[in-house]
Amino acid sequence: MKVKVVDFIKRKREVLSHHQFEFKDWLSPSIRDYWIEFLNKANSSHFATWVKDHNLVSISNGETVSEPIEIEMHQEATKVMNELTASLGEEIHVGEWLTVDQLRINNFANVTDDHQWIHTDPEKAAAESPFKTTIAHGFLTLSLLSVLTDSVDPASPKFPSAKMTVNYGLNQVRFPYPVKSGVNIRARTKIQSVTPIKRGLEIVQEITVEIEGCRRPACVAESVMRLYF
DSSP-derived secondary structure for 9-59: HHHHHHHHHTTT--GGGGS-HHHHHHHHHHHHHHTTSHHHHHHHHTTSEEE
How does residue 154 score in pLDDT terms, banded at 50, 70 and 90? confident
Is the pLDDT assigned to residue 27 strictly greater than 70? Answer: no
- Residue 74's pLDDT band, with cuts at 50, 70 and 90, is confident
Q: Is the pLDDT higher at 204 or at 33? A: 204
Buried b (16+ CB within 10 A) or exposed e, 88-111: bbeebbebeebebeeeebeebbee
Would you say 55 and 61 are in contact if contact means Cβ atoms under 8 Å apart?
no
Phi, psi dihedral angles at 62 (to 5 degrees): 75, 10
- How far the first Cα of the chain sits from its last, in Å, is 13
Measured CA to CA, the distance from residue 46 to residue 25 in angstroms comes to 31
More confident residue, 55 or 117: 117
Lowest mean pLDDT segment, chosen from 84-98, 149-163, 212-226 = 149-163
Q: CB–CB of 77/1 below 8 Å?
A: no
| pLDDT interval class at 196 (50, 70, 90) | very high
Q: Is the pLDDT of residue 28 over 90?
A: no
Output 105 or 49, whichever has higher pLDDT. Answer: 105
What's the whole-number mean pLDDT along residues 144-153? 90
pLDDT confidence bin for 108, thresholds 50/70/90: very high
Handedness of CA 116, 122, 128, 131 (dihedral sign): positive
For residues 159 and 197, the answer to whether their CB atoms sit within 8 Å is no
Mean pLDDT is lowest, of 3-7, 17-21, 25-29, 115-119, for 17-21
- The answer to whether 150 and 156 have CB atoms below 8 angstroms apart is yes
Mean pLDDT of the region 180-199: 96
Least trusted range by pLDDT, from 20-34, 73-87, 146-160, 194-208: 20-34
Stated pTM of the model: 0.68
Cβ count within 10 A of residue 84: 19
What is the percent of the chain with per-residue pLDDT over 70, rounded to a whole number? 69
Spatial distance between the Cα atoms of 58 and 151, rounded to a whole number of angstroms:
38
pLDDT tens, residue by residue, 86-96 = 999 999 999 99
Half-sphere exposure of 151 (CA within 13 A, CB side): 22
Q: How confident is the model at residue 24 (pLDDT cuts 50, 70, 90)?
A: very low
